[in-house]
Amino acid sequence: MKKLAVLSGAGISKESGLSTFRDSDGLWENYSAQEVASIEGWYRNKALMLKFYNERRRQIEHTEPNAAHKILAQMEKDWDIDIITQNIDNLHERAGSTKVIHLHGLITQARGENHENTIYDIGYKDIHLGDLAPTGDQLRPHIVWFGEAVPMIEPAIRIVEKADILLVVGTSLNVYPAAGLIQYITPGTPIYLVDPTAMNLHYAHYTQIQDVATKGVAKFAEMVAPLASKSSK
Ligand code: APR
């Protein structure tokens, strides 16, 4: 099957009811990213950051995948799809996608603050100051904060390099290294971008579907259906 790489951002989860970050009603309108999503913020006020992510986790627990997540999951029958998401929600997985890389971590995972590679599934449980990981240190969300490395960027680059098509959906492409993934496509690879905001990427084979994710991803699936090759590549 042909390889479809998907780079998704907060916009794909907007119609599920989750806020984006940089839209006018986005999270960074009400919170300072430096205060609640950076490693400096963690050492300044752990309780505030734990509260911020407890709120996100509770909201995500009561949120459902939307049609955009579901269509991408259904496309796995005709495409070898890898989802590379910047989102910390688990909506791609809950829609049925089986290959998902979380560049910025996953809200249902946690780890000791001094053990970034020993990760625990905590579901939707709150984390409080004083909750210790089995490694004996303060438990923290397994989220990549501003100022921290993005360990999954290498596997994500490998995926983009091998893609036959790249779909970018619901991201302002403001944050690196995620936004830089696009430059790893092999020349001539078509890029499709689903976003209601006009965005002009300077690539030869670039198509923007200027719509919300639920409609734009449906249009994308229709447009590329003829390109899916049933034969194994
Ligand atoms: N459907 C599709 N796209 C949408 C929709 C929608 N219904 N509504 C908004 N968008 C688009 C916006 O136009 C914007 O381009 O989604 C994008 C959201 O951009 P951001 O809010 O910047 O979110 P994102 O790109 O995911 O942010 C990247 O920044 O703060 C960090 O770690 C955080 O992972 C996040 C990263």
The whole domain housing 83 covers: 1-18+66-104+151-233
Q: Is the peptide bond before 177 cis (omega within 30 degrees of 0)?
A: yes
Which of 178, 179, 206, 208 shows the shortest CA–CA distance to 193?
208
**Candidate from 62-66, 86-90, 135-139, 198-202 with smallest mean pLDDT:** 198-202
**Candidate from 106-115, 142-151, 188-197, 223-232 with smallest mean pLDDT:** 223-232
Question: CATH number, domain at 206?
Answer: 3.40.50.1220
More reliable by pLDDT, 25 or 167? 167
Q: Which residues are 8's β-sheet partners?
A: 85, 169
Mean pLDDT of the chain: 95
Q: Is residue 171 within 6 Å of ligand 1 at its C-beta?
A: yes
Task: For tokens 């998401």, name the residue.
Answer: 85
Q: Cβ distance 102 to 152 under 8 Å?
A: yes
Catalytic hit among 69, 102, 104, 142 = 104
% of the chain surpassing 90 pLDDT? 91
Q: Cβ distance 189 to 164 under 8 Å?
A: yes
Q: Cβ distance 57 to 36 under 8 Å?
A: no
Residues 217 and 170 in one domain: yes
pLDDT of residue 30: 86
Q: How far apart are CA 29 and CA 8, in angstroms?
A: 21
Q: How far apart are CA 222 and CA 171, in angstroms?
A: 21
Residues 117 and 189 in one domain: no
Nearest CA to ligand 1 atom 35: 86
The count of domains in the chain is: 2
More reliable by pLDDT, 46 or 231? 46
- The mean per-residue pLDDT over the stretch 41-69 comes to 97
Model confidence at 230, pLDDT cuts 50, 70, 90, reads low
Q: Is 104 a catalytic residue?
A: yes
pLDDT of residue 117: 95
Model confidence at 233, pLDDT cuts 50, 70, 90, reads very low
Which of 180, 182, 163, 174 shows the shortest CA–CA distance to 227?
163
Alpha carbon 208 to its chain centroid, in Å, reads: 19
pLDDT in tens, 60-105: 999 999 999 999 999 999 999 999 999 999 999 999 999 999 999 9
Number of Cβ within 10 Å of residue 190's Cβ equals 18
Terminal Cα distance for the chain, rounded: 5
Domain boundary among 93, 123, 143: 143
Atom of ligand 1 nearest to the CA of 197: 13
- Per-residue pLDDT for 229 more than 90? no
Residues 119 and 224 in one domain: no
Residues 199 and 225 in one domain: yes
Q: Is residue 32 within 6 Å of ligand 1 at its C-beta?
A: no
Query: 0.85 exceeded by the pTM?
Result: yes
pLDDT of residue 29: 87
Residues 56 and 129 in one domain: yes
Residues 139 and 224 in one domain: no
Q: How far apart are CA 51 and CA 28, in angstroms?
A: 16
